[in-house]
Structure 1
């Protein structure tokens, strides 16, 4: 081959050689050598952060759970405080410009309510003579953070105002909808976490044992799964609601039902895990683990389960929004939590009346938060599934 022909060869096919004589893989810079010694979790993080929607959704979930954890601090008002003169008050408009020009500090105007003599409902307008500026870390209603630490400092709010902020409007009793949504996120976002993790553990172990051993154990487990799947969930939910102690609080009752249903709800995941184990139990890495006298439980937990961790992660991230939707729908229908408990489903009960929604459309905003949380979990699940896929 002549020198001219040799120069025409695609240089990407030739591994670059450093002066030291070390050969690097094509497509990797010198600092890319850290890939060879990186842990599996670090490789997963590198893959995950390339999924922009998953990273953005993770930030959204972080903000939602921050608000749920510190709802007393984030909420602007007491969610149960009633303002009878501000029923169905619309959301306030945040302004930066007034008659004097631009203002760096945002502000809102006061409410001016008048009675429509034809419909007899209150009509709200902005009172330009009353202007309130928004501040961070303002003193407001007293609370106990996590029920333990007293305080009265809120993340933001109005100073020296005789009216609440009403960032997202008020409900039929004049209660602050924004504060109620923030308080409701604590229950709606956390009520399913315990149940989902419990279902995942039971489904993985029982399904793994069924698929790995087969035979009589597999037959018994599959018949139990078919029995559990055939039970309708809503009548079961109503039966458990009646069977639990009557002196339990509504939140304790709901957590009890959620845990009981999660113990029963492992059946779907167990079937999938069983199929994966049947396909993988004769693979070479399983045979090699048997040859070195690894225990059966170690083979299941340390070898087989991590081989399809991407599917388990996807199932987990899809089960959590399923729990959120379950709580919301059942509370909306009156079968789940009931007032005075605050959750997104309970708040959506206000939106059952079409006439009310037509006059106060902001009462549907709790549903918007449900949609955002469910979509965020789905995008994060997609990113984690791709990052954990060993064949990627």
Structure 2
């Protein structure tokens, strides 16, 4: 029977085996690596086990990288009009023509007008093959408004058209406008979160650390803001912005409104954390050494639950994006010439137009994708930041 017993090394789990410390042994590390690992490294090990959150994080990184080079990715500029292709449907990309491999190409389109519904009807012209060009010189643009360039990832054939997601009422390419709109919709969430975090951490931190009358006033203000319906409050604040403001000022105003109304939840979370942490011995030691309240909060207390703040940020950003989309869709947010996903969806407000040209609703797809990705990422970060998991 003794011959069948496991050896000492076999009986021990892999994470408590004896031997030199190897930080790259596996995802969990050895016993000594777990003891010596920082909080961020422990979070990373737990986060990697959440596959859906990991894939969502990678997808969001790709999306934010794309908005940096959107001029290169978009076949057309954001306001380029193709007056001969108004309300053109999405074009399919083909590889074969009559059994013969040609490569990526689209068929030319012929337009007729339906006199019954007054709908523009486009049909593929199988005799007009338009090969797609890649890494090509096409419509000139100013990269980030600074550098003249004309290099695109994909271009239509000379004299041809390429509308992957169709065109709108002015003949503008919807795919290109979605890419340009991502730059506004994705960044407005980041800037809104920065505003929200500054207010939430400062106000909630002071309320939790000082307590007393200041905490009482902050809690009553938060309760008043929570008692007001969100969308009417958004509409009221957005409506007071002057109509003659420049697009940049409107963008900054919407960002500030979204951040101004979203700090309350974070402030309550920060307050509850600081109420518990301010009784710790190291806070008393810092006070006896003469540290100011600002230094104690910023240097000693806030870093203690920074992982919770990171998870909260990823769950707050999609709310900001939805807020901008809602305001712009209702006509009280961003306005042309600024292009965002909410502005693009204003084209789909009419049921009659949407019934004839359903591809105008396609900008809702990236909104759904980004919201789900941020929610999955936030769930993964929240689980990774939980010390009891």
Q: Which moved more, 1:311-320 or 1:43-52?
A: 43-52
Following superposition, the deviation at residue 257 of structure 1 comes to 3.6
CA contact (8 A) 1:79 1:175 kept: yes
SS in 2 for 1:199: helix
The CA distance in 1 between the partners of 2:4 and 2:94, in whole Å, is: 70
Instruction: Tell me the TM-score normalized by structure 1.
Output: 0.86
Following superposition, the deviation at residue 6 of structure 1 comes to 7.0
Match in the other structure for 2:306: 309
In 2 relative to 1, CA 201–384 (structure 1 residues): closer, same or farther, beyond 3 Å? Answer: same
Question: Which of residues 192, 198, 206 in structure 2 aligns to 1:195?
Answer: 192
In 2 relative to 1, CA 112–211 (structure 1 residues): closer, same or farther, beyond 3 Å? Answer: same
Q: Which moved more, 1:284-293 or 1:199-208?
A: 284-293
Match in the other structure for 2:152: 154
Match in the other structure for 1:281: 278
CA contact (8 A) 1:137 1:154 kept: yes
Instruction: Tell me the TM-score normalized by structure 2.
Output: 0.87
The CA distance in 1 between the partners of 2:242 and 2:169, in whole Å, is: 32
Match in the other structure for 1:12: 12
In 2 relative to 1, CA 229–357 (structure 1 residues): closer, same or farther, beyond 3 Å? Answer: same
In the TM superposition, 1:37-186 aligns within 5 A as 37-103=36-102, 105-160=103-158, 162-186=159-183
Q: Which moved more, 1:138-147 or 1:114-123?
A: 114-123
CA contact (8 A) 1:180 1:342 kept: yes
In 2 relative to 1, CA 342–329 (structure 1 residues): closer, same or farther, beyond 3 Å? Answer: same
Match in the other structure for 2:364: 367
Map Cα deviations across residues 136-178 of structure 1 (whole Å, 9 max, x no partner).
2111111111110111111112231x23210111112221100
In the TM superposition, 1:236-255 aligns within 5 A as 236-241=233-238, 243-244=240-241, 246-255=243-252
Q: What's the Cα RMSD here?
A: 3.2
CA contact (8 A) 1:317 1:378 kept: yes
In 2 relative to 1, CA 336–16 (structure 1 residues): closer, same or farther, beyond 3 Å? Answer: closer
Match in the other structure for 1:207: 204
CA contact (8 A) 1:138 1:158 kept: no
Map Cα deviations across residues 111-150 of structure 1 (whole Å, 9 max, x no partner).
1222334333222111111112222211111111111011
In 2 relative to 1, CA 146–5 (structure 1 residues): closer, same or farther, beyond 3 Å? Answer: closer
SS in 1 for 2:362: helix
Following superposition, the deviation at residue 75 of structure 1 comes to 0.8
CA contact (8 A) 2:234 2:257 kept: no
Map Cα deviations across residues 167-192 of structure 1 (whole Å, 9 max, x no partner).
11111222110011111111111123
1:341 aligns with 2:338: yes
CA contact (8 A) 2:327 2:333 kept: yes
Q: Which moved more, 1:88-97 or 1:191-200?
A: 191-200
The CA distance in 2 between the partners of 1:177 and 1:274, in whole Å, is: 45
SS in 2 for 1:137: strand
SS in 1 for 2:140: strand
Map Cα deviations across residues 191-247 of structure 1 (whole Å, 9 max, x no partner).
232221121122122212212222222223223333444455555545544554554
Structure 2 gaps, min length 5: none
The CA distance in 2 between the partners of 1:102 and 1:226, in whole Å, is: 66
SS in 1 for 2:154: strand
CA contact (8 A) 1:207 1:270 kept: yes
Q: Which moved more, 1:108-117 or 1:134-143?
A: 108-117
Structure 1 gaps, min length 5: none
In 2 relative to 1, CA 101–55 (structure 1 residues): closer, same or farther, beyond 3 Å? Answer: same
Q: Which moved more, 1:283-292 or 1:137-146?
A: 283-292
CA contact (8 A) 1:16 1:23 kept: no
In 2 relative to 1, CA 198–3 (structure 1 residues): closer, same or farther, beyond 3 Å? Answer: same
Query: How many positions carry a matched residue from both structures?
Result: 385
